[in-house]
Structure 1
Amino acid sequence: MPGLIWLCVLLIVSFHDDGVAVAGVGEFIYNGFAGSNLCLNGAASVTREGVLTLTSNNFNIQGHGFFPEAVPLIGPHGKSMSFSTTFVFAITPYHSGRSGDGLAFVICAAPDLSTALPGPYLGLVDPYNKFPATNPFFAIELDTAKDLEFEDIDNNHVAVDLNSLKSASSSTAGYYIDIDDDTEGYATEASFKALRLSNGNPMQVWVDYNSYNGQLDVALAPVPMSKPSLPLLSYSGYSVNLAKFLGFNDTVHVGFSAATGDEHGGTHQILGWSFSMSGPAKPLDYSLLPLKQEKDFKKKLIKWLLASSFIILLAGIIIACLLIRRWRKTRHEERTDQDWEAELGPRRFAYKDLRRATHGFHEMQLLGKGGFGQVYRGVLASSGIDIAVKRVSSDSRQGLTEFTAEIIILGRIRHRNLVRLVGYCRHKDELLLVYEYMPNGSLDSYLHAQTSSHVTLCWPQRLHIIKGVASGLLYLHEDWEQVVLHRDIKASNILLDGEMNGRLGDFGLARLHDHGADAHTTHVAGTRGYLAPELTRFGKATKATDVYAFGAFILEVTCGRRPVGLNVRGELLVLVQWVRNTWASCSGLIVDTVDPRLDDFVTNEAELVLKLGLLCSHPLPAARPGMRLVMHYLDGDLPLPEFSPGYLNITDVDQVLDEVPPSVSNTITGLSGGR
């Protein structure tokens, strides 16, 4: 009898205009979404041409589009049912050339994902409210941003998510083609062709799930290529029983989610979608997909250009002239310093000297790499001085503005706890910065190294590094001729010299302003976990936002944990909240949060540093101490005011003065001094 009911459901077919066909809730196909009644929320919308647009080019947004009816994907005895789906998507990057953060095909218990977060969370989860526990999900993600928190393999991959964004299986985006057929016509090898998910061109995904053996296959190919015979990604076993991960709900909802982050925007679009629970999903009709007219126009234009030899020849001549002009301009820039370069002060190096110093930027000289580019170790032939050369990549976030800012600031300031800039180089489109070499690398590698090659820093070393960074930050905020806002204080930007002194580096995001004036910054910059609450709301950097990041930093150094990470149970752990809650608990002491690898810490020193880190991370800017007062506390010149864990929850300025103990209230002016 249940089988007969299922057969009836799958045979009730109705047709809609604009290429939409629905066969009950077990099968449907959208050759474009014009006239559809999808369940949309967030930034999602359907264009006049029938494109399901999940996000536009705005930053930090999310969008969702779901089939309007629940799907009975869970069969009798709590067993998942097989399904097959295919869809055509397009991810177009913002003008910066990089797109974030990706989209996902999702199956979840409820279609309302409005409380989830954008950015790396792809609009799927809210880590602060343990969202997956209340709305479990399965997703095939098309991720265009690498996030270390979720152990992403790269910034261009396809992955299987089972109730967690730490993927169960993933692969770099691409597809396999059969080659080298044998005499009987069977392929003996397969060649992998990489694809850039965010190239703006339409691509097609096929997802096939066999509930009988728990086999999940995912394939990817550019449109209009047919489905590859070999899937890009295969995942099998009991762990793919979707009923288990979807909470054994009788029905589920199928659809799409996409999100952009703080730094990279982009449009995420679905052009067509087919879904079936009674066999392979029906193929999409490419002739009915939206944007067809635009594609036809491009094809006609290309044919017309190929047929018009005169126009092609003329275009070639124009391009050659432009290239010659650009070459001459580049040579002129190499020979003549620009006005801004004349005022910088640091030495300008010849590109050939830096290339020789790093052995041609050889891989053996590589010290590290990140979103900005690569850093190489080198030795200047003229003096024998060890240097570190930051080679800014062409697609880096750090452009000429950030490059210039770092030279101007570091070229004029001198402090024992700031990385010293030796010089710089501009060569064609390349930007290079030359620093004093730090033999012990970054502090981040000592705190969070996954291998045993790095020794564990002892407590005196950590306290010495904290004091050194505080001294350097005090110099930037109070003691130099102008106020310097660093805007990216974190462990990976602290370098250790030969004597294990901490030196603050990477001033690419730094900004200057006069003492007594406000900084003119409206763009949010920094790293997640170190950003002050008011910075994410208003985008205005101040000394107080630097102090907040410094507070997160000293908690990270003392506890040996990142400001935002996962605990042993895979749950999100916000370090500031964890330290505060441990201190507030009846059975815990604040020093219980000290890095368990430390067995030599001094209790009163650790307690001072932890409480100071919490005070610097207070949600109210006015309640955070200025860096001069921070130095007084660290040096023991002033005792840290007594305050309770409840003081750290105050979010109203009047409460700071009315509800805190007198010892704190009397020093509140000093806490915000210097701003």
Structure 2
Amino acid sequence: MFTKIFLVLLLIKLTACNNDGFSYNGFLSANLSFDGIAEITPNGLLQLTNNTKQSTGHAFHSMPLQFKDPTNERALPRGLPVQNLGLFSSSNNGNSSNHVVAVELDTVQNLEFGDIDDDHVGIDINSLNSTNSTHAAYYINENGRIETISLISGEPIQVWAEYNGTDMKLDVTISPVKKPKPNRPLLSSVVNLSSVVLKDMYLGFSTSTGLIPTAHYVLGWSFQMNGKAQELDISRLPKLPRRGPKKKSKVLTIGLPIFMLVFILVTVASVLLFVRRRIKFAELLEDWEREYGPQRFSYKDLFIATKGFRDTELLGIGGFGRVYKGLLPSSKAEVAVKRVSHESRQGMREFVAEIISIGRLRHRNLVQLLGYCRRKGELLLVYDYMPNGSLDKLLFDQTISVLTWNQRFRIIKGVASGLYYLHEEWEQIVIHRDIKASNVLLDHEFNGRLGDFGLSRLYDHGTDPQTTHVVGTLGYMAPELSRTGKATTSTDVFSFGVFILEVACGRRPINLRASAEGVVLFDWVSECWRRGLILETSDPNLGTDYLVHEMELVLKLGLLCSHPVPCTRPSMGQVMQFLDGDAPLPDLSSNSFRVSPLEVGHNEGLDAFTMSYRYSSSIGDSILSGGR
């Protein structure tokens, strides 16, 4: 490491010069004269100083040059070490008789010599006070961009000292040893050397150490009296000694323990990640479920399909859980995944059996239940994805309805066809129990498909349904449910009647913001029918853009299906005949509608809708309760 380096190009008196140029890539073959502690190392370095304190080292080019009188006449002025660098003393510094021209590379700021800083390059004439100096650096382009160099860093550098006798200009250029010579010199001075340089001069290097000893080395040297000096071959230059003590191998002392620690940490992390993933995707699977293998989805597939059940994939939130859009990783099929929370295993086996049975339903107007997945605390149901969403959003969440009457009428007939299939055409009777606009989904062509069979119940043809919890949605529940607790095909027909009134009128079953006579949709439509104004209940968004006979048919059919007396309601088979025009709609007597749904069940002490509202809290009960 360098603490103070002063490499000089000396021109002093010589007796003769038989050659005007030389080049040394290392100094093993060089014939040099030494003074002080300077020497050549075994690998060819010119070592000017070593680790001796306050020492001086000089090296001169001696062949074919000769001293006039090497015994009596010294080639250099008497010099002192440390800040005088072995060149001058306080008595001769600056004397014109010195005949010394030097380029200094100085890493110590000596104020007595006017040094600008502790890392500079200077041009010295007969003195240690530089005639011109600047901070050590080199130009990396001709536009003036400059890069500094640390002389004390110990990294080798190149130095070019060039004098043009015609212009009397001395240029000094430096750069890192592996960089090409910059096009622009670092330092330039106009110097008239005629009074400084004698007829015969000597070239060499000089430096010294102070209280902190430092070794200084020269790797190569090239000189030319007339013309351009030969470039040094960087690849042939000797290597500098290692700075500092030799590094001991730390592979065993440090590397191996670190490797073992990293290996253990990676192993533990891998095990934890594996366990975490097992827990994350853990499912409940009991022996009795194995027969439903084709209908069961893995939680991992559903997790990937819904992108981890992100909110961005959320399609909607219902009474029993959230519904997410998903893309199955294997088949790339679009699905809707409903997450239903549950805390009890009571009735789970029977419920899953019904889910699987419902999964066998096949009808163009039913949303296909593809399968399920059971996990701790939740059940996941997988359905076909309906791109146009639920019907209620298009009826009520739009400023202007986007559904034409033709579309609405086709949706009503489609839902009726699907419900007819559930009640009369399939191998068992399926009671849906939650028919409403939000459970009717629309496919690519806006065909209505009845979905969400989470509340559905099955029983065989020719048998009576069993008593169950009163569940459903307020406004769609038949009034007799509050008294009997039995869901039947007739209670489904009631909900369907409310549904078709909802579609035709563009109003929800119960509207608390409406006037007193319009709070309950059935009451309002039946009152307008009695007044002969039934067409005035049609959705204002439609204007008059509908067929009058179809609108009257739907409105009257809605009143008939949602009649408060169960035996008055038609079956879904009859509903299909009315809608297809295969049978006339029976005449509606005004007396038939004097009894409001609010009055049915009054003998229980509460009206039907009050009972429905009380039991609406059961909507939040788990559909897995198993009660019937």
Q: Select the structure of larger CA radius of gyration.
A: 2
TM-score category, normalised to shorter length: 0.3 to 0.5
TM-score (normalizing by structure 2): 0.48
Decide which structure has greater strand share: 1
